[in-house]
Amino acid sequence: MARKKQYWLMKSEPDEYSIDDLEKDGTAHWDGVRNYQARNFMRDQMKIGDKVIFYHSNAKPSGAAGIAEVASEAYPDFTAFDPNDKHFDPKSKKDKPTWYMVDVKFVKKFDRFVPLSEIKENPKLQNMKLVQRGNRLSVMPITKEEFDEIVKMGKAKK
DNA sequence: GCCAACGTTGGC
DNA sequence: GCCAACGTTGGC
């Protein structure tokens, strides 16, 4: 049988790229990840069809904005090769890239935005790396239970 | 804008 | 290999 579906949380600053941008574009490549742990998750563990919580960081407020889906295997992040790109990294070579990215596909925007404060208050979500002190990972695995809980919180209140 | 926490770099 | 200095992340 196929591998179990994995769930992820991916952070983006909405000033840079928000859930609305993704909705408009349909799919986007998740470029600019310059953290080895996050890269390893994308390169080694992400599979097409994995579900992603799209999280707005450095936002007012920060929080979970919607759902996306992994739409490609990892491939070299070409923005690292472009000296004019702000994510340029001279250490990444075309024949041996340091950085990778995946494509993500828009699935849905939450009926209601789930602010970080509510995630922190939810006892079911206390194990997430997101709420642990000082965590700066921009791509992190989450459990199905955590994914489902956030999706539930993102539904409009009756 | 502040600042704590973290990752990376570079001198030794 | 240690560790101080520096740059970045990200909540507030």
Is A91's CB less than 7 Å from nucleic acid strand B? yes
Spatial distance from the CA of A135 to the C1' of B9 (Å) = 21
State how far the Cα of A10 lies from the Cα of A54, in Å rounded to an integer.
5
Looking at domain A7-153, which of 3.40.50.150, 3.10.590.10, 1.20.950.20, 3.30.1490.100 is its CATH number?
3.10.590.10
State how far the Cα of A72 lies from the Cα of A102, in Å rounded to an integer.
6
Looking at the C1' of nucleotide B8, which residue has the nearest alpha carbon? A35
Domain spans in chain A, listed from the N-terminal domain onward: 7-153
pLDDT at A1 over 70: no
Radius of gyration (Cα) for chain A, nearest Å?
16
Q: What is the pTM of this model?
A: 0.92
pLDDT at A50 over 60: yes
pLDDT at A2 over 80: no
Average pLDDT for A69-92: 90
Spatial distance from the CA of A35 to the C1' of C3 (Å) = 21
Check: CB of residue A142 under 8 Å from CB of residue A131.
Answer: no
Residue-level pLDDT at A69: 96
